Amino acid sequence: MSGERLTDVEIGERLRVARESAKLTQADAAAQIGVVRTTLVAIEQGKRRVQVDELQKLANIYGTSANALLRREAVHLDMVPRFRKLAENRDSAVERATRLLNDLVRAELELENALGVNRTRNYPPERPILPGDVRAQAEQDAQELRDWLGLGPGPITDIVSILDLQLGVRVYVRPLDGKVSGLFAFDEAAGACILLNSNHPPERLNQTGAHEAAHLISTRRQPEVLTDDERFTSREERYANCFQRSFTMPARAVRQRFAEITAGQSHLTRRHIILLAHALHVSREAIVRRLEELRLAREGTWDWFTANGGITDDQVRQVLGELPDRKTYSARAQGPVPPRLALLAREASKKEIYSEGQLARLLHLDRHEVRVLLDGVETEESEANELVKLSP
């Protein structure tokens, strides 16, 4: 199958997707290769075979290659237009993030096609947002998801592995503009896809991942962009925000920790907040907002702290001492490629399906990052023996 030539219809469809991804009209693209618009229309519809020189010119102006367009394994997916319907996507930073998400999903699908594997989806049932108290439903749905995943009452320390390996969501962590926290999209062929901002602290990254998981639970057919100026005015966003807090900070666990840490105390202090946030792996603001929500602290407590000097990193060091740079540690441990995609890339390299340079372009990595990703591939096969070899 992989050696079969693409049909004119398939090539035309790939050219259409590439043109739309490059944000060019048919008239503009036709003019740049010296043909009339009707000719390009016929090519994209598969009614007229594209000539070699035309294909090379089109690939060049679309920012791709003829090889990428013609590879049987290549995936031509364009989720970007779905995001353009959102008001947030008028911003260039969001536009860049949506294109990056699309490219990474396309790369993972291509590696799967090349290796002949499929991602197993383990999505929980979709739960539409019902009339009534959004917060109560979000609290219940979040606890049911934790129970379904067997997470127990402990803190969420690695949302990426939960989404990637336990739920089968395509999740990526890359540097984004500071205003963009995360994106969620669902495609019939690709499934659920999430992009998170690696520039954010790990506590915030976990919260964003849980927020995007809420969209998988409740509104998975609608693309979503979470920005730092989100007002949470719609029912969908209020649900997602409540779900995120409930999932990362279960009510029972928060109440128990709160009782332990504040035992015998008469006032809620900065030290209490620092210890609670550290224990639950969330930000200081997040835990205070959750305490307010659970009526363990008065409404407006976080605003009071903010108006009175806040809770600073120096104060955290005074309470907890010098801690490892969790952001650096997390980024080093996770890397720019999630666990499953890293395994696909290593296998594709091992089988010599893709070169180092091809993987760098496919995964939006530099050569050094690819070498780190592939480190040890050469010795893996030689170290294996028949006792540990996986069955075909």
Structural domain spans, the chain = 1-72, 251-323, 336-383
pLDDT score recorded for residue 166: 93
Q: Taking a C-beta distance cutoff of 8 angstroms, is the pair 61, 22 a contact? A: yes
The pTM of the full predicted model, rounded to 2 decimals, is 0.77
Residues 6 or more apart whose Cβ sits within 8 Å of residue 262: 268, 272
pLDDT score recorded for residue 332: 41
Whole-angstrom CA distances from 233 to 132, 229, 239 are 15, 11, 10
Nearest to 353 by CA among 131, 112, 178: 112
323: which 2 tokens? 């801690």
- ∠ CA 143-157-295, nearest 5°, is 50
State the Cα–Cα distance between residues 300 and 242, nearest whole angstrom: 17
pLDDT score recorded for residue 339: 83
What pLDDT digit, counting tens, does each position of 197-254 carry? 999 988 889 999 999 999 999 989 888 899 887 777 789 999 999 999 999 999 999 9
Give the chain's mean pLDDT: 85
pLDDT tens for each residue of the chain, 392 residues long: 344 677 888 889 889 888 887 788 999 999 999 999 999 999 999 999 998 889 989 988 888 777 777 776 556 566 766 676 665 556 788 888 988 998 899 889 888 888 888 888 999 999 999 998 999 999 999 999 999 999 988 899 889 999 999 999 999 999 999 889 999 999 888 899 999 999 998 888 999 999 999 999 998 988 889 988 777 778 999 999 999 999 999 999 999 999 999 998 888 999 999 999 999 999 999 999 999 999 999 999 999 999 999 999 999 999 988 765 554 444 444 578 888 888 899 988 888 888 888 888 889 898 889 988 888 665 555 544 554 555 55
pLDDT score recorded for residue 268: 92
Q: Domain 1-72 maps to which CATH number in 1.10.260.40, 3.10.310.40, 3.60.15.10, 3.40.50.300?
A: 1.10.260.40
pLDDT score recorded for residue 338: 84
